[in-house]
Structure 1
């Protein structure tokens, strides 16, 4: 089955279940029995989410996997508890769904890491009904298994505690949560201040657990990468070998002459020259010509090398990692052995430009996450509104033949403005938050602070590849380099 067929089957499956069309759902599952919806889980998860009675009944008759977990450890019973459909819950309980199954600690990173949401694990279906104030679902679950009310999640909270502490985020506890609280016990209800304090303590405990788990995961991934090595360790033959040891001094012939001239000046004169070569397309966002034209230009060499690596990887066991949480296509430069390019560009270009554009703010940007992103038909074609996980971002267009895909900018995050409260419209209409739009050209670059809200319009045609450097202050103080 082609990837296009798979996507079509998933969409049709979602539509059939949402409309509670059991017959159509059955046809799709017979045609594509491995059709799985990654973000949701199984067809039974979807039926529970939509409250689709006929589809749920059919799936249970077909002996589907009753306690299948999604990526966060949620079973169909958990979904039904969240959505609060008592009939679906009763059907799952009668089919002997695992009432004691609990969720895992989960951390979601949205907006390329700019927004972090932690969700406590160890919660059973009654916890989830209480968390969402679903009193009907809570009653069904409590009557079926009263012991659930005494079980604690990983924060040490029982379902009644969860209902109260979640309700403490508002001025008063909602009617639904109050009904759950009354159902699960007659203990005195603490004041809103006490509940908020308990909720904040739970958040802190969960954050600590997830921070430790995340740190351990990074160590494991680093160890795996060290064992797996780079493509060169597995027999890969480079198209442009000099890229792998590129130093700052090597950039003279590769960067645009105007940029080299500006960065070769001493600090005082450099600032004035930088403002002459950079166009401020909106306050705090600057565009400039970074790479010289020519067949041996740095961006062309890098594009050819990346294509070569991807072609090799497709025929080998070595696996490419996705560049970040929002983009699916591209590479992490360090993973493929091209970390020297990121280090050299940061030292020779990003740091001196940042020092000139934002005086006194940056003396070190040694923590670098460098990756490429690719946009084209049947792959990623746009990028949702977000902020970067960086102090300073360099976005260099490596090239390609393309139409559309302009990057748009709102204002910086803060003062009540963030990507969630200032979304970009999905259609072609105007955006009241937009302050500027930039059309990418091969060899041009943007530099801006990481907290600047932005995104990319849909690519209409062709292919575009960009090199992104997310630069953060490291643990050391570094003298500003001179490019001479």
Structure 2
């Protein structure tokens, strides 16, 4: 089996995949604004305020329709195609993170540049306005992956914070019930274990094609899925500048700062 054990073997792995993997939908790998839902594509084409389509569903949590149903369908098919290719060719499929047991890392089979362009050209202008205090105005790299929830896969995800400055969570599908996101307060590293206040707790329902944008340190969990399968694209967006800034004390953006 082709395995990843260190940075050198990872580079060899990516090169091998690039040379030998034949995409199912090759057009997906080159960014095109046609992937955007009509409402978002409209403001993009007219160079209008990108925030005009975004709804603040709770303080510091935003949502809008981002991708078309066709793109979501084809992207899921591409992920399935890659997973099948890995299994048939005895190729290691990296898990997306330390918490999820199902899914893929999108940079492993060619989607890093696509998502980098999405982040820099369309997400960063939004986060520059919404999250400048945590590096939203200087995002420059990402870790992006697919997570999968179903009755025979991961059922839920425990309460946690992300290893990101800003997280973009896009539901691709399919049909499912349950699996809502639960949020429980923004916390810095000093205060992560403090209990959520009642007014900080909210459940957010996933809708295919829609994005949910939040701070990486906004504590959240994935509630139990009840039926069907939920597949999400997660982008952990990072700022080199913000990641390198030491956190010596509780910052003002922490929900526990004024307590």
1:461 partnered with 2:227: yes
Query: Alignment partner for residue 224 of structure 1, among 2, 6, 9?
Result: 9
Change (3 A) 1:224 1:260: same
- The Cα shift of 1:474 comes to 2.9
- Normalising by structure 2, we get a TM-score of 0.83
1:387 partnered with 2:161: yes
Of structures 1 and 2, the one with the larger relative CO (CA 8 A, separation 6+) is 2
1:375 partnered with 2:149: yes
Q: What per-residue deviation string (whole Å, max 9, x for no partner) do you get for residues 123-149 of structure 1? A: xxxxxxxxxxxxxxxxxxxxxxxxxxx
Whether the 8 Å contact between 1:322 and 1:329 is mirrored in structure 2 is yes
Moved more, 221-230 or 388-397: 221-230
User: Counterparts of 2:198 and 2:132 in 1: how far apart (Å)?
Assistant: 31
1:291 partnered with 2:67: yes
**Alignment length (residue pairs):** 238
Cα RMSD for the two superposed structures: 2.6
- The Cα shift of 1:332 comes to 0.7
Moved more, 329-338 or 467-476: 467-476
User: Counterparts of 1:381 and 1:230 in 2: how far apart (Å)?
Assistant: 33
- The Cα shift of 1:369 comes to 0.5
Whether the 8 Å contact between 1:375 and 1:465 is mirrored in structure 2 is yes
1:464 match: secondary structure: strand
Change (3 A) 1:230 1:379: farther
Matches within 5 A, 1:126-145: none
Matches within 5 A, 1:56-71: none
1:413 partnered with 2:187: yes
1:331 match: secondary structure: strand
1:303 match: secondary structure: helix
- The Cα shift of 1:238 comes to 1.2
User: Counterparts of 2:130 and 2:45 in 1: how far apart (Å)?
Assistant: 16
Q: Which runs of 5+ in 2 are unaligned?
A: 243-259
In the other structure, the counterpart of 1:257 is 38
Change (3 A) 1:330 1:384: same
In the other structure, the counterpart of 1:302 is 75
In the other structure, the counterpart of 1:402 is 176
1:282 partnered with 2:67: no
- The Cα shift of 1:299 comes to 1.6
User: Counterparts of 1:359 and 1:265 in 2: how far apart (Å)?
Assistant: 25
In the other structure, the counterpart of 1:350 is 123
Structure with the larger helix share? 1
Whether the 8 Å contact between 1:394 and 1:469 is mirrored in structure 2 is yes
User: Counterparts of 1:396 and 1:220 in 2: how far apart (Å)?
Assistant: 30
2:137 match: secondary structure: coil
- Normalising by structure 1, we get a TM-score of 0.46
In the other structure, the counterpart of 1:471 is 237
2:240 match: secondary structure: coil
Whether the 8 Å contact between 1:405 and 1:457 is mirrored in structure 2 is yes
2:35 match: secondary structure: coil
Matches within 5 A, 1:24-423: 221-229=6-14, 232-233=17-18, 235-244=20-29, 246-247=30-31, 250-251=32-33, 253-264=34-45, 270=49, 274=51, 276-293=52-69, 297-358=70-131, 362-414=136-188, 417-418=191-192, 420-422=193-195
User: Counterparts of 2:102 and 2:189 in 1: how far apart (Å)?
Assistant: 33
Change (3 A) 1:243 1:433: same
User: Counterparts of 1:328 and 1:415 in 2: how far apart (Å)?
Assistant: 25
Change (3 A) 1:415 1:346: closer
Change (3 A) 1:234 1:472: same
- The Cα shift of 1:446 comes to 0.4
Q: Which runs of 5+ in 1 are unaligned?
A: 1-218, 424-430, 477-484
Whether the 8 Å contact between 2:148 and 2:229 is mirrored in structure 1 is yes
User: Counterparts of 1:283 and 1:433 in 2: how far apart (Å)?
Assistant: 11
User: Counterparts of 2:190 and 2:11 in 1: how far apart (Å)?
Assistant: 42
In the other structure, the counterpart of 1:184 is none
In the other structure, the counterpart of 2:253 is none
Structure with the larger strand share? 2
Q: Determine which structure has more spread, i.e. the larger CA radius of gyration.
A: 1
